[in-house]
Each structure stands twice: as C-alpha cells, then as structure tokens.
C-alpha cells in the first residue's frame, strides 16, 4: 500500500480590505478632531497646511508635539491634543514601514 502524505498549513489570519478601511477611517477621525481642537488654540496659521499635506504631516505633528505647550499650557484640551498627536504619529510610523 502506498502511503499518501498530506501537508496541512496552519490557518492564518487574513487581513482584508475591511481592516485597512477601519484604520483609514480612524485616521480621518483623528485628523478632523485634531483640526477642530487646534482651531481653539494659539498656533501659527501655516501649521494647518503642513498637517493637510500627506508628505508634510509628520513635520506638522512633530512641531505640535514640541511647541504646543508654549502658548497653550492652560488650555483645557491640551492633554487631549497630545494624545491625538501621539496616536497620529504611530499611524504615520506604520505607514512609513
């Protein structure tokens, strides 16, 4: 009798388009919320185009991270903006890899 050998590959999680869509939607929500919060803060008007451009967004987020507290240290939403910026920077880093 001949022996039949079957190779069974383990089931792997598939990453479908719906995962990418959810991540993209989350990025859009973060971006809209960040812009709404920044409208209430004292920031340069030239920063908004930096954030809107895909290739310059990283620079804008770095600027916010390092300089936002200088004129907005008493703003009630400062910590919220910091958290959003940190989340968006993680998203940008994932895109770069």
State residue 95's pLDDT score: 77
pLDDT confidence of 64, banded at 50, 70, 90?
A: very high
Closest by CA position to 65, among listed 51, 52, 53, 76: 51
* pLDDT given for residue 92 in this prediction: 85
- pLDDT (0 to 100) of residue 81: 94
Give me the pLDDT at residue 62, please. Answer: 93
Percent of the chain exceeding pLDDT 90 equals: 39
Q: What pLDDT shows up at residue 10?
A: 67
Is the pLDDT reported for residue 32 higher than 80?
Answer: yes
**Sequence-separated (6 or more) residues with CB below 8 Å from residue 56:** 49, 50
For 40-63, the pLDDT digits (tens) are: 999 998 888 888 888 888 899 999
């Amino acid at each position: 009798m001949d022996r039949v050998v079957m190779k069974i590959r383990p089931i792997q999680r598939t990453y479908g388009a719906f995962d990418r869509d959810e991540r993209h939607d989350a990025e859009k929500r973060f971006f809209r919320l960040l812009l709404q919060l920044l409208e209430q803060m004292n920031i340069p008007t030239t920063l908004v185009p930096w954030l809107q451009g895909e290739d310059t967004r990283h620079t804008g987020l770095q600027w916010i991270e390092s300089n936002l507290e200088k004129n907005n240290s008493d703003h009630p939403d400062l910590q919220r903006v910091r958290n959003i910026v940190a989340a968006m920077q993680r998203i940008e880093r994932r895109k770069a890899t």
